[in-house]
Chains A and B, each alone.
Chain A
Amino acid sequence: MTTTDPGIPVPGTTVSDQPTADLSGAPLPTAATLRRRRSVPFQLTRFAVFNTRIMRMVTKGAH
């Protein structure tokens, strides 16, 4: 299938470019955030918080 406008392929056309999502607007984590994500003491706290959240959800939900 050919297109009438070479810049705008029509539906059904096979094109070689990949329509990769533009992620340039997604925020990148800062160095401090990356450190926190790997910090064992900080993550131990998050581990406890997440498990508490799961248990709260279990008791609150229709379980």
Chain B
Amino acid sequence: MADVVILGAGISGHTAALHLSRLLGRRGLGKKHTVTVVSPNSRWNWIPSNIWVGVGKLDKEDVVFPLQPVYDRKGIVFRQAKAVAIRPDGDIDDHRGAVDIEYTGQGKAGTPGQLRYDYLINATGPRLRFEATPGLGPDGHTVSVCTADHALEAAARLREVIKRLASGEEQTLVVGMGHGTCTCEGAAFEYVFNVDHELREAGVRDRARLVYLTNEAHLGDFGVDGMTFEQQGFQTSSELWTGSLFRERGVEAILGAHVEQVEEGLVRYETLDGLKHTLAFDFAMILPPFGGVPLAAYDREGIDITARLFAPSGFMKVDADYTAKPYEQWRAADWPSTYLAPGYDNVFAVGIAFAPPHQISRPQKSTNGTVIAPSPPRTGMPSGVMGKTAALTIVDRIKHGADAPAHQASMASMGAACVASAGHGLRSGSAAAMTMMPVVPDYVRYPSGRDLKDTRGEIGLSGHWVKLMLHYLFIYKAKGHPGWQLIPE
């Protein structure tokens, strides 16, 4: 009998829960094990499609669904609660690990509780750190597409801007990253081109100034140090390829920017040359930096060991090489492969929750010393793979003993597809569809850092179809409908 607890029901946590349920058997007669998911949210959100909610092409209900019915079918216990502390060594009452939780729903909001575990997966995802930049976010002066509700608000504000443009006013729209250390540049890239598409459809593009404000030092960096593609017998960079799209669509790009503050209709930012700028706007969708969801950790005696388990960013340390070293000495082997927390063979951190060893893109500082360095993306496809990897290790250890070898899936050996929508529409849509292999460049194995056979990029209508197909496929999979496990992460 083993109890598995998963913190978080995003892509990685939910994927892990479904695989554990499948492989350990559902609740009922003869069931020996429990799988419990702890999430403060009662609904699952296919976040990549929030972009389309944010331009009014989809409704919120198209991208979310309630978790409880799925978990009821799969024999997974659901606790609508937030984890507040973990006790990996147990406490004086019980040597088994425990998680302290506080309910956020199920009629028990605010009530504390505790769950014992034999295996723990921390898949808590990001904390949206809007507060890192004064004035940023829905409580400040900008909108966001980080959640389905945020995206609904963004769509409403965009509609207002389009009305003003239609009445003959000129408007400036800014889309981008709200801090020098943000990640998810791909989401801002998608949103800016979806906004461009909407403005063109509404016939008002000529009166709109559209600005992409990013912490990337180069276009096409995407927080993964850019990519090299082989096209028509030549090697080309994602910088040139992306720049072509910006030029074609008339989207201005401001690079290497750290947003310092947002005021009503005004963003203040610093660039790598140390100069400070102000940019007036009528509409701004600017993403926040991410931090780890705050969790305390205590040892058996109740002594605080948070700093031992978590990086200062709040992300959980795993089997990565966290030795501080310059960019030139970064190696693929620095990246974790089992996602086990050091010192524990039953605690994992996957998806955004694990602390990366360093950035992927070359980190930069402005001449004033301000860090302007995109954080590594750990969402989407890699996130699901990590969740499944942790689940497979747990299943092996439950079935074959605690010393069964851990499954491995390093971001330096796995590939990812990134389909960046550039407009919605079955005949008029388009997307920049990219594959990269591996996600973290490995300059020892490949001169360009990646396998050029599997690192490709193309723009066109088919990319939109792929993104739309993934939307339906992944929601189908997340609902655990028949055959869900055949759909790759």
The smallest C-beta distance from B375 to any residue of chain A, in angstroms, reads 21
- Using an 8 Å CB-CB cutoff, how does the interface string of B218-251 with A read, 1 for contact, 0 for none? 0100000000000000000000100110111000
CA distance A29 to B488 in the complex (A): 34
Q: Are B410 and A47 in contact (CB under 8 A)?
A: no
Residues of A with C-beta under 8 A to B433: 50
Q: Are A62 and B414 in contact (CB under 8 A)?
A: yes
Residue B23 CB within 8 A of the other chain: no
Nearest A residue to B213, CB-CB: A18
CA distance A21 to B254 in the complex (A): 6
Residues of A with C-beta under 8 A to B428: 38
How large, as a class, is the contact surface on chain A?
35 or more
- Using an 8 Å CB-CB cutoff, how does the interface string of A22-58 with B read, 1 for contact, 0 for none? 0111111100000011111001101100110111111
Q: Are A43 and B459 in contact (CB under 8 A)?
A: no
CA distance A14 to B367 in the complex (A): 14
Residues of B with C-beta under 8 A to A16: 277-278
Residue B461 CB within 8 A of the other chain: yes
Q: Are A19 and B246 in contact (CB under 8 A)?
A: no
CA distance A46 to B464 in the complex (A): 11
Q: Out of B240, B248, B408, which one reaches A62, CB within 8 Å?
A: B408
CA distance A27 to B427 in the complex (A): 25
The smallest C-beta distance from A5 to any residue of chain B, in angstroms, reads 14
Q: Contacts A20-B253, A23-B253: A63 and B385 contacting too (C-beta < 8 A)?
A: yes
Residue B313 CB within 8 A of the other chain: no
CA distance A43 to B285 in the complex (A): 31
Residues of A with C-beta under 8 A to B253: 20-21, 23
Residue B286 CB within 8 A of the other chain: no
Residue B342 CB within 8 A of the other chain: no
CA distance A14 to B461 in the complex (A): 42
Residue B189 CB within 8 A of the other chain: no
Residues of A with C-beta under 8 A to B466: 47, 50-51
Most A CB atoms within 10 A — which of B279, B414, B460, B466?
A: B460
Q: Out of B244, B254, B273, B462, which one reaches A47, CB within 8 Å?
A: B462
The smallest C-beta distance from A55 to any residue of chain B, in angstroms, reads 7
Residues of B with C-beta under 8 A to A47: 462, 465-466
Residue B456 CB within 8 A of the other chain: yes
The smallest C-beta distance from B247 to any residue of chain A, in angstroms, reads 4
Residues of A with C-beta under 8 A to B246: 21, 23, 26
Q: Are B414 and A40 in contact (CB under 8 A)?
A: no
Residues of A with C-beta under 8 A to B417: 54, 57
Q: Are A19 and B247 in contact (CB under 8 A)?
A: no
Residue B463 CB within 8 A of the other chain: yes
Residue A6 CB within 8 A of the other chain: no
Sample of 7 further A-B pairs with CB below 8 A, known A19-B271, A27-B240, A28-B248: A15-B276, A18-B211, A19-B273, A26-B240, A26-B246, A53-B435, A63-B489
20 examples of A-B residue contacts, CB within 8 angstroms: A9-B275, A11-B275, A18-B277, A19-B255, A19-B275, A20-B253, A23-B253, A26-B244, A27-B244, A28-B248, A37-B459, A43-B465, A50-B466, A57-B415, A57-B437, A58-B415, A58-B488, A62-B408, A62-B409, A63-B489
Nearest first, the 10 A-B pairs at minimum CB distance are: A11-B274, A26-B243, A57-B415, A37-B460, A47-B462, A46-B462, A43-B462, A61-B414, A23-B247, A11-B367
